[in-house]
Amino acid sequence: MSTPAAGHSIVFMGVSGCGKSSLAAAVSTELGLPLIEGDDYHSADSRDKMQRGIALTDDDRSQWLDELAGILAAHRTGIVLTCSALKRAYRQRLRADAPGLRFVFMDLSQDEAQRRVEARAADHFFPPGLVASQFATLESPVGEPAVLRVDATAPLDELHAAVTRWLTATGSSS
């Protein structure tokens, strides 16, 4: 299937609870690209730290980002990846192995993220107590190349349509 994103991968990024997985799944299905859930690649130690309410450090995230960058590099025809990618340095690490990499920044207020994470607490490893740490770490990607900012509180179908329009408008260029 030829898509507007052919040959390029897309990272759905933002703080926990912003809806990365839901929107990425919809776009992955539409584009016929594999969906990679970044959370599945956290080490057992990192998952344990988060479950105990301990925020990850840059060192904790380093191996995880290297693994995700390797996955991006191995899929030159494109994938859809969910990854918080909170800092510019993290995004730059991913871009280094994936020319033309695009990011969809799912922007959400801290109060709304807190509400969403609390609502799913029984079914997810990420505890509500770490939401504030994600906002403390977040460096907005707005203004970086190949980034679309979306309001994560918009309905899923509107978000999906906005991403599709953006991918179509930008074609295969970054």
Residue 130 located in a structural domain? yes
Q: What is the CATH number of the domain that holds 88?
A: 3.40.50.300
Give the chain's domain count. 1
Residue 150 located in a structural domain? yes
Residue 1 located in a structural domain? no
Range of the domain at 51: 10-170
User: What single-letter amino acid sits at 144?
Assistant: E
Residue 152 located in a structural domain? yes
pLDDT tens for the chain, 174 residues long, are 344 445 689 999 999 888 899 999 999 999 999 999 998 998 889 888 888 888 888 998 999 999 999 999 999 899 999 999 999 999 999 999 898 999 999 999 999 988 888 776 666 566 677 888 889 999 999 999 999 999 999 999 999 999 999 998 887 433
Residue 4 located in a structural domain? no
pLDDT digits (tens, 9 = 90+) for 152-167: 999 999 999 999 999 9
Residue 3 located in a structural domain? no
